[in-house]
Structure 1
Amino acid sequence: MMGTTHQTDTLIVGGGVIGCAIAYELAKAGVDVIVLEKETLGSQSTRAGAGMLGAQVEMTAPGPMYELGVKSRALFPKLREELLDISGIDMELHTPGIFRIAVDEDDRAALLERQRWQTECGQRAVWFEDEDLRGEMGDLVSPRYGALYLPDDHQVRNPQLLLALAASAKRLGVRIFEHTPMMGFLQEHGAVAGVKTADGVIRADRVIVAAGAWSGLLARQLGLDLPVFPVKGQSFLLDSYSPPTPFTIYTHGCYILPKKNGQVYVGATEEQQAGFDRRPNLRSLASLSTQAVELLPSLGDLPFSTPLAGLRPGSRDGMPYLGSVPGIDGLYVASGHFRNGVLLSAITGLVMAELLTGKETSVDLEAFSLKRAHVFG
C-alpha cells in the first residue's frame, strides 16, 4: 500500500469484534468495505475478553441497554450457522447457561429482584438455594446465599468468533489492512472523506470509528470530545482436558467460563486508572486466582496457561455510541461497548449496516445516539 490511494464505500477504523461484525453485515448487503487495523485483528479487548453473551447477567435494570443485549443474544445461533457455512470456522457457542452466585444478603435480594423483573420481561431466570445448587453441581461451588440461574445466557470463544467474522467478511469481498495505523482524517467541504495512513490514503464515502478504547483519541483529531476511555481488564486461562463444570460461574469481581477447547477462562478486573497500559500484573492475577479457587476449589489443581489483559472501551453511562456524528457528514461511531462488546457485536453489526444502507434499524438508536455525548469540544 506504499504511497497508494484506495477507494471504498465504507471504511471501518478498528479490526476488533465490533469492526469485523459491521464489515460482515455491510458486505452481506453488497457494500464495498475496507477494515483498517493498527495491529492485528482482535489484538486489543477482543483477544482478552471472556466471550459471555450475558444479556441478563450483565444488566441490573430494564431499559434500552437490556433490550439491546437480549436482541443481540438472540441473533447468535443464526449468525453461528451463517459464519460456519461461509468460513468453516465455528465460534464455539456454549449453551449450558450462567449461574450468578450471591455473595451476601444484599446481593441475594438484588438478584431476586432481578429475577422478578426479568421474568416479567419474558426471560427465563430460575432461583437456586444452596442445597439445590449443590444438587446440580456437587460440591464444586461453595455458595452461602443462593444463585440465579440464567439458562439462556451463553458464551462463545472470542478468537473463534473474530476469525469467523473476519474470514466470512473477506469471502464476501471485504479488504482488511492490518498493521496500518491511521494518521489522520481526510476532510473536504466539512465532511469526512477518508483517512491518511503512513502507507497512503484511503478515500471513503463513509468512515466508521470502531476503534474501541482508542476511539476517543481518534475523535480528538476532528475537535470532537467523544467520551470513550480505556478500562483495563485482566484475566487468565487455565488448561484442562475436562473443565470441572459446563456452566459459567459468575459473582462480584470474578467469573469462570469453561471453554469448548478444554481451557477455563477466569476474569476479570476493572481498572479505571491504568490508562493505556495493557500489561498484566501479579497483584491483579493473584487476587483473581484467590477468588476463583474460593468459588470453585477444583480450579486450584489446574495448570496455569496464559495471562490476558485488554482495554475495554468505557463510556460515561455504560452504553455504547452507535450512529452518525452530528454536524460531520460521512462520519459514524460504533464504540463504548465496555464489558459487552462480544454480546453486542451481532446487533451492532446489523443496525450499523441497516443505518448505512438506508433501512429502518432493528433497534431504536435514539438512546445510543451521540447527541447525548455533546461531542463538540
Structure 2
Amino acid sequence: MCRETKVVVVGGGVLGTSAAIHLLRAGVGHVTLVERDGVAQGTSGAGAGFVAPWSLGSPDECGAEEAALADYAIDFYRELNAARPEAPYRQRGCLWMAQTERDWPSVERRHTEGPADSRIVEPEEIEKLTGGVVRAAGILRGVYHPSSAQISAERATRALAALFAAEGGTLRERTPVRGLVVEDGRIAGVDTAHGRIEADRVVIAAGAWTNAVLAELGQSLPIAPIAVSRIVTEPLGMPGDLPLLFVKALDSGLKKSIWVREEDGRLMFGANYDTPSRLTFIEDGVPERFDQVDLDGVLEVKRAAETLTTAIPALVEYKSFRIKHGAPCYTVDGRAIVGALPGVGNLYVMAGCNEQGVTHGPGFGRVIAETIAAGGSDFVDAAVWSPGRFEGEPQSPREVAAAL
C-alpha cells in the first residue's frame, strides 16, 4: 500500500488558506495548514477586499494571466459565500474616478484597456450609482466596471480556513515554524514550536515573513515588504450596495488613487503614500506584530482624503476611527512569485502579492495545487510567476523597494 502524501502549507493568510483548500480538493493527500498566530492576523486582516481587474495595480503590471485570476476569484468568493455565509460577498462593481482633466488619462485606461463590460460614466450617474456618497460636483467623470466585487478579506480568510478544516484538512494555529527540514536535497518537513511535522511537499505562503522562513536554507526571494495602513471609521450609515471607489486626484499630492469602500456601514479607505513608515520593515526588519507601525502614513492618508471632500463629504464627517496595518510584498515587475523554488526539491512558494492578494489568491491556490497534484497547471501559463525569473534583477528588499 502506498503511503499517503503529506503536504504542509505555512501561513494562514489569504494565499495560504487558498492553497490549502485547493490542495485538499485536488486530492494530493493529507494537508496541514500551519499558522504562527491566528488565521488572518497578518496582512490579510488589513486587506481592502477588492476583487477586481488590476485591483491596486495598473494595466502595465497585469496581463491576461492576472485577468484570468480576477475572473476566477469572483466566482470563487461567490461560492465561498454560499458555503460559508459569514464571508460576505457583494458584486456591486467598481468606480474609477478622475477629479480633474489632469487625472483623466490614467482613469480612461481603465476603460480602453479594461474588461468588456466597462463604460464611461458622467458625474450625475456616479452620484446615482453611489446613493449620493459621491457628489457630482466633485468629480470630472469616471469608468465603471460592473462585474467587480468586494469581500471582507479577514472574514473570507477565516471562512476558508474553517471550510478547509470542515472538509478534512488539519488546521494548526498558534504553531510557529522554527525551521524547514531538508534531507538529501528535498523537503522532509517543518520544525515547529510544538514539534516536527513530516511532509513530502511544503508550500511557504508566509507573506512578509517568507524570507525569514527561507533564511536558514540560504534562500531569499526578491520581495520588498511595504507598510500600509487603512482607516476604518465608526458606523456612518453607508449603503451596503456602495461600489468600490477609486479616486485619482493628483492635486491631493498622491501619485496613485485613493480608494474607499463600505464595510458594515462604515467607511474604510487608504492609499499608497511616500512617508518614512512605508519602508520601516525594509530598514528595521519585519516584526512579529504590526501594532507598533509609525503613524505618519495614517496622517498622510487622512490629509489626502480631506482634499476629496467636495467629492466624498463623508471622508471628513467621521468622529472616530481605528487603524489596520499590513505589509504586502512587492516585486520589481509587479507580478507575484508562485511555484517550485529552485535549489530544494518539493519546496514551493507563494509571495509578492503586490497588494493584490485578495484578487489573485484563489487562482494562485489553484495553480499551486495543480502543480503539486499534476506537475503543472492547465488553468493559466504559470511561468510568468516563476520564482527563477529574476536573474540580474534587484534582489535585496532595499534594492527592490528602490526600483518600484
Query: Is TM (by shorter chain) over 0.5?
Result: yes
Do the aligned partners of 2:55 and 2:359 also contact (CA within 8 Å) in 1? no
Shift of 1:241: 5.5
Amino acid at match of 1:145: L
Q: Who is 2:38 aligned against? A: 40
Which of 261, 266, 288 is the aligned partner of 1:263?
Answer: 266
Moved more, 66-75 or 337-346: 66-75
Q: Give the 3-state SS of the residue equivalent to 2:90 in structure 1.
A: coil
Shift of 1:357: 0.5
Shift of 1:149: 1.6
Which of 284, 291, 312 is the aligned partner of 2:297?
Answer: 284
Q: CA RMSD in A?
A: 2.5
Do the aligned partners of 1:98 and 1:150 also contact (CA within 8 Å) in 2? yes
| Alignment coverage as a number of residue pairs | 365
Do the aligned partners of 1:170 and 1:176 also contact (CA within 8 Å) in 2? yes
Moved more, 334-343 or 359-368: 359-368
Q: Give the 3-state SS of the residue equivalent to 2:36 in structure 1.
A: coil
Which of 175, 178, 200 is the aligned partner of 2:173?
Answer: 178
Amino acid at match of 1:255: W
How has the CA–CA distance of structure 1 residues 282 and 215 changed in structure 2, closer, same or farther, with 3 Å as cutoff?
A: closer
Which of 19, 23, 29 is the aligned partner of 1:22?
Answer: 19
Q: Who is 2:202 aligned against? A: 207
Amino acid at match of 1:94: R
**What does 1:45-194 align with in structure 2 at a 5 Å threshold?**
45-61=43-59, 65-80=62-77, 82-84=79-81, 86=83, 88-118=84-114, 122-134=115-127, 136-137=129-130, 138=132, 140-141=134-135, 143-194=138-189
Which of 283, 306, 310 is the aligned partner of 2:322?
Answer: 306
**What does 1:204-243 align with in structure 2 at a 5 Å threshold?**
204-240=199-235, 242-243=237-238
For residues 226 and 161 of structure 1, the distance between their equivalents in structure 2, rounded to whole angstroms, comes to 27
Amino acid at match of 1:360: S
For residues 113 and 288 of structure 1, the distance between their equivalents in structure 2, rounded to whole angstroms, comes to 24
Amino acid at match of 1:123: A
Q: Who is 2:401 aligned against? A: none
For residues 20 and 156 of structure 2, the distance between their equivalents in structure 1, rounded to whole angstroms, comes to 14
TM-score (norm 2): 0.82
Amino acid at match of 1:254: I
Once the two structures are superposed, what CA deviation does each residue of 1:132-153 show, in whole Å capped at 9, x if it has no partner? Answer: 4345444733534322222222
TM-score (norm 1): 0.88
Amino acid at match of 1:42: A
| Aligned-residue identity in percent | 25
Unaligned 5+ segments in structure 2 are: 248-255, 397-404
Amino acid at match of 1:98: C
Q: Give the 3-state SS of the residue equivalent to 1:101 in structure 2.
A: strand
Do the aligned partners of 1:258 and 1:264 also contact (CA within 8 Å) in 2? yes
Do the aligned partners of 2:19 and 2:364 also contact (CA within 8 Å) in 1? yes
Which of 314, 318, 332 is the aligned partner of 1:316?
Answer: 332
Do the aligned partners of 2:47 and 2:154 also contact (CA within 8 Å) in 1? no
Q: Who is 1:3 aligned against? A: none
Do the aligned partners of 1:232 and 1:269 also contact (CA within 8 Å) in 2? no
For residues 133 and 177 of structure 2, the distance between their equivalents in structure 1, rounded to whole angstroms, comes to 52
Do the aligned partners of 2:55 and 2:356 also contact (CA within 8 Å) in 1? no
Q: Who is 1:9 aligned against? A: 6
Unaligned 5+ segments in structure 1 are: 1-6
For residues 14 and 368 of structure 1, the distance between their equivalents in structure 2, rounded to whole angstroms, comes to 19
For residues 18 and 5 of structure 2, the distance between their equivalents in structure 1, rounded to whole angstroms, comes to 18
Shift of 1:173: 1.5
Once the two structures are superposed, what CA deviation does each residue of 1:243-266 show, in whole Å capped at 9, x if it has no partner? Answer: 05712211234211112x222211
